[in-house]
Every structure is written in C-alpha cells, then in structure tokens.
Amino acid sequence: MKLHSPLCDLFGIEYPIVLAGMGGASTPELAAAVSNAGGLGVLGAAACQPEQLREWIQRTRALTDKPFGVDTLLPASVRRTAQTQGDGRADPADQLADHLKFAREFMDQEDLQMPINRGGGQSTSGGNLQVFSKEFFDAQMQVIIEERVPVYAAGLGNPGPWMAELRYNGTRVMAVVGAVRHAIQVAAIGLDAIVAQGHDAGGHNSPVGAMALIPQVVDAVGNIPVLGAGGIGDGRGVAAAMMLGAAGGWIGTAFLAAEESGIAQHQKQALVEGTEEGTVISRSVTGKPARIIRSKWTDAWEHADIQPLPMPYQGMVSGPVMAAAGAAHRADINPGFAGQGMGLIKSIRPAADILREIVETAEASLSRATYFV
C-alpha cells in the first residue's frame, strides 16, 4: 500500500504530509527539507516582516524545486482589539504598565538580562504592536501574491479578501479551523483544503479534541479535502486521521526537533525530554490560548493576580522575557510551544528521516486496519 490521497494531486506532492507553519521553527531550511522528501513544507511566517518574508520565499526556492507553502495569521479579533474599543471595557493598552512591571520583576527574580539583539526561541509572540496591525497583514499578503507562492495557509482567520488574487496566480489556499462553524464560513470562500486542528495541537488551538473535530469538519465541508491536525506524532496518527475522513496530516510538533528546525538547541532537547503530560494551555505568551511546554513563565501567570492581556498586547509583555530566556538558553522559562504528541519525540534527527518514518508507519497502520475488516 502506498500512502496517497487527492491532496497529493492538489499540491503536486508525493505524500499527503504537510509540515505545519510554526513560528520560529518552520524556516526555509525545514520547509525545503520536507518538500524535498516528498511532503509539503510550509513556512511559519506569521511574524516575518514583509521583506524578510520575501527573502524566506526566495531562499526556499533556492533550496527546493518542489512545491511549498507560506503560513501567516489573519486574526480578525486582533484587528478589532488594535482599534479603539469604545465599548466601556478597559483598554488593554492602559493595563500595559502593570503587566510590564510583572514581567520585569519576573526577570529580576530569574536573573535574566535583556539581550542586545533578540535571539533564540520562537517569534510568534512578536512583542511589537505594528506586527499585528492591519497594515502588517496587508503587506505580508502583498508579498505572498507578488511572489506567486504555490500554497498559502491562513493559520488563523479568513483569507477571503485576498482569494481572487491568490486564485489568479494559481496559489492553492487553505485555512486552519478549530470548529465546524468556522469551517463552514471559510469553505464558502472556495478554499482548496481545510485544516481541522484539535485541542492536542501545539500553539493556538481549539477547545475541541482532534478525534472529535476531524470527522465533524469532514462532514460539514463536502468535497473540500480536510487535513487532520493536533497530536499527530507519527504515521499511526496520520492513518487515524485518514480513517476519520481526512485526506492527510498537517503536522507540527513531530517536526519541531528536526535538525533543520529553526528553534534553539536547548528547546529541541526539552522536546526530547518532554512527555505527553508536559504541556499546558496558557495565554501567557501571545494573549490567545496556546498549547505550550509548561515553564516557570506559564506557572507565574497561572498564579498571578492579573490576567494576561489579549493579543497583541501580551506579546509586548512576554516578548522581552522570551528573548532574554532564549539568549540565556533557559528551557525552564522559554521551552516553546508544543503539542501533546511531544512524548513521541525521541531524538533530534533530519526532517527527511522523520517524514520517511511517518510514511512507513502510516502505510503499515492502514494495511493492518484493512486486514482486520
């Protein structure tokens, strides 16, 4: 049995395995390695300034002649939050001073120094208000359109306003959803594929578990191929998602500790040492609930008298702490986002090896499943 589905023809790839866009991890090197091995590598470009994004796309093209994708965030709630609220609720900007004081005290207690140049760690948290502005999203999309990327994925939100131009260029478009109602909304704009991402996933995810979410999204979106996501740690997970009706897997955590992944070495080591119980859902880094490896920073917010601010403001609070922890190689403070499949990671190895093993175990699992009926 060869692992194959309509996704392969849609994207022009050998196996229906897609590297999830992961900020800080899914760099041109990792995306190209996955594409060269027969999957679809997707750049985690959410926090890339437009010119850096252009450079990443061009670098990916230099590393592979195979199809690849770009993932950014289009969070509608952020657009609203970044405007004046005018509805009587406390403006998050007015609360910033207290939260920054909390972060400074935390850094003092942990003996963390602000690095001169920010380094290490994941970059989705941003820390710069302009990063999460309407102008920023528009400028990123402009680059994606000008560069005619083969595949675009909206990690959050609805790419509807850009569909006509993306389509005109022949770009395949997908969106990540965590609920059936969101799947129905984005299906209506004519997407090529939909990612159903469950609660087990690393990063921003859904309150609904992947096992329950995938078949319900499959049923809701008709002929649009669905990729299962969340907790797919190896080929058995891909086979399970396909049994639930998915046409393939959108996989993040399993590729996080790849040699080509952009996260720091101490973060890769934290993944190798982590278990299925090692993550929590926390708003402490980006302001939106995200699955992250439990750390002193997530614990501090768990016990704090104040609540994390909404996105993008919490990123301004956590950004300096994450950068300082990255520079000091402190995995106890900034181990990074990860999904519950973390316990399946046993070593740091090339992405091509990870992909090959996923394909082999998926094929074996699917053959075994048909043997049983």
Ligand X SMILES: Cc1cc2nc3c(=O)[nH]c(=O)nc-3n(C[C@H](O)[C@H](O)[C@H](O)COP(=O)(O)O)c2cc1C
Binding site residues, ligand X, CB under 6 A: 20-23, 25, 44, 46, 71, 73, 122, 124, 155, 176, 197, 200-203, 229-232, 250-254, 256, 336-339, 341
CB of 23 to ligand X, least distance (A): 3
Cβ distance to ligand X smaller for residue 262 or 308: 262
CB of 200 to ligand X, least distance (A): 6
Buried b (16+ CB within 10 A) or exposed e, 347-367: eeeebbebbeebbebbbebbe
Cβ distance to ligand X smaller for residue 102 or 284: 284
Cβ distance to ligand X smaller for residue 70 or 317: 70
Cβ-proximal residues to 317 (8 Å cutoff; 6+ apart), any chain: 96, 99, 100, 102, 103, 308, 309
Cβ distance to ligand X smaller for residue 71 or 363: 71
CB of 371 to ligand X, least distance (A): 27
| Spatial distance between the Cα atoms of 100 and 77, rounded to a whole number of angstroms | 23
Cβ distance to ligand X smaller for residue 120 or 339: 339
Cβ distance to ligand X smaller for residue 176 or 221: 176
Cβ distance to ligand X smaller for residue 229 or 239: 229
- Nearest CA to 113 among 362, 370, 333? 333
Cβ distance to ligand X smaller for residue 197 or 365: 197
CB of 233 to ligand X, least distance (A): 7
CB of 101 to ligand X, least distance (A): 28
CB of 29 to ligand X, least distance (A): 15
CB of 196 to ligand X, least distance (A): 10
Cβ-proximal residues to 90 (8 Å cutoff; 6+ apart), any chain: none
CB of 301 to ligand X, least distance (A): 18
Please count the other Cβ atoms lying within 10 Å of the Cβ belonging to residue 291. Answer: 23
Nearest residue to the partner ligand X, using Cβ: 155
CB of 309 to ligand X, least distance (A): 19
Cβ distance to ligand X smaller for residue 44 or 320: 44
